[in-house]
Chains A and B, each alone.
Chain A
Amino acid sequence: QVQLQQWGAGLLKPSETLSLTCAVYGGSFSGYYWSWVRQTPGKGLEWIGEINHSGTINYNPSLKSRVTISVDTSKNQFSLKVWSVTAADTAVYYCTVTDFFYYTMDVWGQGTTVTVSS
């Protein structure tokens, strides 16, 4: 059974870079969709981006200019960076993995609360 464990800085100042990492235990990257989703009280759940089954990285256009998703297969980890954060980036961030073909798996990380405040 795949498990995800995520970590990263929880308190940032405006203009800093948000950096989160998600470690994958009990599985590999092949064939699944590896995503980042964030949740705010105001906007609800927002899909940030993903690494799809073929390794293509897709981003939410609303964030694309400030977001980078990357994968390190040697460490079984994938990461999220959000550049030049503002208070609007304050949210709970989740990493997820889903099998969107056969629906054998849908796993979410525990969530990381990120607060942007001066």
Chain B
Amino acid sequence: DVVMTQTPLSLSVTPGQSASISCKSSQSLLHSDGKTYFYWYLQKAGQPPQLLIYGISNRFSGVPDRFSGSGSGTDFTLKISRVEAEDVGVYYCMQSIQLPRTFGQGTKLEIK
């Protein structure tokens, strides 16, 4: 299985400041078709995960432009600019280049 490793596991951010989360995969997520099969999800308390970013840097419908993704190959970053209270939750990365799809262990974002 492709192992997804996130850092940090938790972070506390002052509203208005930025936050970054890293995710590293145990093998490249770049497919021969030129696409990178990498995603970011956010799970708010009491809710199922929701898709934020697909294909490294594409925001899903309705996701604010405060969220941005970057990276390539095996190293990826989610940046949240101007963190707001509604951004609180657990962020997960996921890969789908190889089955089984696998998730990172999650990064808990709190507001100071």
Contacts and interface: CB of A to CB of B under 8 A. Distances in A.
A45 B92 contact: yes
A45 B100 contact: no
A100 B103 CA distance: 16
A96 B51 CA distance: 11
Question: Which label, helix, strand, loop or mixed, suits the secondary structure of the A interface?
Answer: strand
A108 B48 contact: yes
A58 B96 CA distance: 12
Contacts, number: 42
Interface residues of A, number: 20
- B54, B55, B101, B105 — most chain A CB neighbours (10 Å): B101
Interface of A: 35, 44-47, 58, 60-62, 94, 96, 98, 100, 103-104, 106, 108-111
Given A44-B105, A47-B101, A47-B103, 8 more contacts: A44-B103, A45-B92, A45-B94, A46-B103, A47-B100, A62-B100, A98-B51, A110-B48
